[in-house]
Chains A and B, each alone.
Chain A
Amino acid sequence: MKILVVDDDLTALALLEAALSLYGFNNVTLASSAKEAIYAINSAKTPFDCFLLDYRMPEVDGVDLCARLRAFPKYRAAPVIFVTAAADRISVNTAYAVGAVDYVSKPIDPQEIGVRVSIAEKLVLEEREKQKHEAPDGFGPQREQSFPNFTIADPVPIFSVNRVVSIVALENYLENQNGGRKHDAVFALAINEFDEIYEKASPAFTYAVLREVAKVLASGLERTGALISYNGYGEFVCASKRMDSESNGGHTRLINSRLARLDMRFEDKTPCKPTVTFGKPAKSSLWSSPPPSKLIEQALGASDDPENAFRSGASSFQNAISCSSPVLNM
């Protein structure tokens, strides 16, 4: 995997390079400024697969650089991992808002770098696989037949939607937020009758529905600063400081009214009108601060209607590692 690392501190650059090499990532280019990074990008014979950007840099910071990267069509879906000095909410939120897929906190922990970049590599492989099967002109029959199959339980990664991250990145975020004694509410939401959509549609169309719903969620919940992750079974997990049981009703209406405006049709031309239902938020308190995986489990178990309880529950991380799609297996 070809990686571009950008940090204005030369010691940090050298450490990141050593950490990457430790985990077998040897095709690494270093840049000490955004200007050098753009030069490296423009002069690269083969495109980079992944970026590690320092959040705080003079002149053009990591956030601006990330936005510039996303302007290159070939880097719209490339994993960008931010390296932030302090795990403070503002920097992390801003990073996710411009399209980061993950972040690591300084001081640099080689093992954490290795794990995060390995996860990014998984995303790169998945994206490559997806592109191999995609016809250039939308939902042609060829694309539909050759789109990688996935089971209803698979937490397929959703690329290029700002604020939509992997479940591992969401857990990482919650871990750091709890460390800072700030408390996010975690809640789950499900696409209603997702089984019917999954049964009726091709994998390509089902994936398109998931992506459209993710986009609507990201834009509808933008003001709440929510981070969103797809967890399989048509269910999403969200983390936000500014959402609670009272506000969920308003969000449900907003999301569903936006979803109703989408013009999606199954292959037989019948309309596909997904709607979503929110679960009750799970929240840590001053007295108890469960680990992120537990908080996510609680959110997935918190449905008003036991018959329609969230199914992706038990352990979201377990879902991620048992995903049936071959390139998704960790």
Chain B
Amino acid sequence: MQTEPNTKNLVEFEAAIAKIRISFLQTLRDHRASLVQLLQIVLQEGSAEAEFEKIGGIAHKIAGVAGTLQLPELGAIAIRTERLIDSALGEEGSFTVTTELLESTATLLEHVNQACNEDIAP
């Protein structure tokens, strides 16, 4: 049973992580576009549950990997947003958009923006 990675594996791992990070930052641009669109619907049309379900799905994907890809703050806000949405959706028939939820989603979008502005391969 291998409990410690060897040097060769470690070098390969770091190279793989660098590539995955670039690919993730590119995916993040799609998430940014979706988040902007969904937030616009929430703010303009007042509909919320279906949109927040989709936002929750995006937050879930970011939450699962951002921390590992050296984006701890983005990961933390994604986890927080996902939990807030989960908890709001969990209360059957009484979905309400709280200020906390809106603020968290806006902060998530802000962090996604910052990450997208990082210098990455085209």
- Give chain A's interface residues, CB within 8 Å of chain B: 9-12, 14-15, 17-19, 21-24, 56, 83, 85-86, 106-110, 114-115, 118, 121-122, 330
Contacts and interface: CB of A to CB of B under 8 A. Distances in A.
B20 A11 contact: yes
A22 B60 contact: no
Contact of A85 (B9, B17, B60): B60
Interface string B10-26: 10110011001001100
Contacts of B64: 9, 11-12, 83, 85, 106-108
A118 B10 contact: no
A157 B43 CA distance: 55
A18 B13 contact: yes
17 contacts: A11-B20, A11-B23, A11-B65, A15-B20, A18-B16, A18-B17, A21-B13, A24-B5, A85-B64, A85-B82, A86-B79, A106-B63, A107-B66, A107-B75, A108-B67, A114-B2, A118-B2
Interface in B27-50: 27
Secondary structure at the A interface, as helix, strand, loop or mixed, is helix
Given A11-B65, A12-B65, A24-B5, 14 more contacts: A9-B64, A12-B64, A14-B23, A15-B20, A18-B17, A22-B13, A83-B64, A85-B64, A86-B86, A107-B65, A107-B75, A107-B79, A114-B2, A114-B3
B61 interface: yes
A11 B61 contact: yes
Contacts, number: 85
B63 A85 contact: yes
Secondary structure at the B interface, as helix, strand, loop or mixed, is helix
Most B-side CB within 10 Å, residue of A11, A12, A115: A11
Contact of A15 (B9, B68, B75): B68
B83 interface: yes
Contact of B68 (A10, A83, A109, A330): A109
Given A86-B83, A107-B68, A118-B2, A14 B60 contact: no
A9 B61 contact: yes
B60 to A, nearest CB: 6
Interface residues of B, number: 29
A325 to B, nearest CB: 14
A110 B65 CA distance: 11
B65 A15 contact: yes
Given A24-B9, A85-B60, A110 B68 contact: yes
A23 B83 contact: no
Given A9-B64, A85-B63, A107-B75, A22 B9 contact: yes
B1 interface: yes
Contacts of B82: 85-86
A18 B5 CA distance: 12
Contacts of B3: 23, 114-115, 118
Contacts of A114: 2-3, 5
A122 B2 CA distance: 11
A9 B65 contact: yes
A15 B27 CA distance: 14
